[in-house]
Structure 1
């Protein structure tokens, strides 16, 4: 069931965006997407009846609601403000929905600029993984006015299983940074704990036998451990570079709020050290391998398997 005459635009057919766009199109919405160098997602969307556009402006001209699912604020700013950006093609009454993890200061500036041309803005960042994006069961936390949220909800329901209207414009991005502070903080703690365990003679498998199914277990822990225990590279396809970016945004938000962000900075530096060592495109669970290496222990999956 589609919502009235909404025509959806989509920019960012990446790990998360491809699944989201697929669900929007398969569930009945006309969809125009921005072409990209990686042709596989684009060809799939064309086969599903979507239309390809060459510029953000062209996406905007064909759409009443435009979703952005890109790396972060720098990319969103270019998509909105560039020479062939969304601002040049959006019609009054349109809505831009930013599903990226972004700097709230940038979010509010863009929302203000779009309001001047009669365009609404919502931030709807994501939680969970590309698997749930493909299945249409992502979590999203939405920052929007009540009216815009109600308008968007039927479209959001095509790709999200859990939708929380967290507050006004910008609150979605603020909450996403808090969410990622917790999850990426866990990643930093797990990595250091596993390295210390190895230093004192406790293997990852023995470590896991205590944590798993105990009070300290959680869904994130189980996904995170699949790299070290099973060698599953794709268990959590979110790069260390993106993790560092998000923790840097968190630091900026904390600085603006006047918060002493000691733990956030400590977690950020764990990712910074791994990125500096060449791990930018490794995924978050691989932080364990990097932290182990710095501390002189081999926590790569093959070595972990030998330590049972």
Structure 2
């Protein structure tokens, strides 16, 4: 199946950032013809070109050279601009092409774009990601895919180059719906951890003592360990997912809940925790989810910077 797919598919990739670079590298190294779009950060582009990729200047050029185009950008606003722009993907696609949106996007936007493109014979899949940049480079990400059975069958061999776990969630939009639910759970934990650590500090319990109880117990998990990598070890890059992207995803979750007419009080509380952080100075490209306790602590008059809190004498 892989050899047949490689013979028939040409792949485009837009968004070779923290996650996208590793994904695109696996695609080209595992034999697929790859076209990537230029970016102001030349490092990943130059690396991919050295490995055999071809560089294009516009989304339209990428579409004209590709039967499947992967997008790995910030969210729906960026995806819509890439598709609908005057020199966008829609202007360059041939009938039978497919877009695979690996961003975390608003399902309402995803469904609207898929409907527009279907009129031109272009397929659509949403394939948001689970994992880290390290797993992207290793080809061990997870992908939750929303697509028709036909589209899923075509894109799966390419997705297998960078994903170790692939789940066909359902139709178009369902991948993005599941990703928002996944992020709601993980970011909900982050908000709880941040508030619990702050309260612990206020009553004289250090992060190290808090961690000694949670770690290895029933409430321990992989997300907890990467989240605490900053508070306990001072590793600013323990989990490179920005606070701004967290807030964006929780805003999409709110929109999804509104569309479904579902009460979402916990989701809104989690969103407000991240809104507090972003509006208090955590909107930068290197302000990541494990830094949330610093902002929650600051709002409560306590410095949660790693190493600042000491045990009682």
Report the TM-score, using the length of structure 1 for normalisation.
Answer: 0.98
| Counterpart secondary structure, 2:179 | helix
Q: Does 1:59 align with 2:80?
A: no
Distance in 2, matches of 1:169 and 1:53, equals 28
Contact 2:103 2:127 (8 Å CA) reproduced: yes
1:216-246 superposed Cα distances (whole Å, 9 cap, x missing partner): 0111000100010011111111110000000
> In the alignment, which residue of structure 1 is the partner of 2:182?
179
Q: Does 1:289 align with 2:294?
A: yes
Contact 2:146 2:169 (8 Å CA) reproduced: yes
> In the alignment, which residue of structure 1 is the partner of 2:218?
215
Give matches, 1:1-308, under 5 Å: 1-2=2-3, 3=5, 4-281=7-284, 282-304=287-309, 306-307=310-311
Contact 2:204 2:311 (8 Å CA) reproduced: no
Alpha-carbon RMSD across the aligned residues, in angstroms, is 1.0
| Counterpart secondary structure, 2:77 | helix
| Counterpart secondary structure, 1:302 | coil
CA shift, 1:307, in A, is: 4.4
Moved over 3 A (4+): none
1:61-117 superposed Cα distances (whole Å, 9 cap, x missing partner): 000000000000000000000010000000001110000000011000000011000
| Counterpart secondary structure, 2:99 | strand
Distance in 1, matches of 2:59 and 2:142, equals 26
Contact 1:24 1:155 (8 Å CA) reproduced: yes
Distance in 2, matches of 1:23 and 1:234, equals 23
Distance in 2, matches of 1:12 and 1:24, equals 14
Equivalent pairs, count? 307
| Counterpart secondary structure, 1:15 | coil
Distance in 1, matches of 2:109 and 2:294, equals 34
Contact 1:204 1:307 (8 Å CA) reproduced: no
1:259-287 superposed Cα distances (whole Å, 9 cap, x missing partner): 11000000000000111011012000000
Distance in 2, matches of 1:301 and 1:49, equals 43
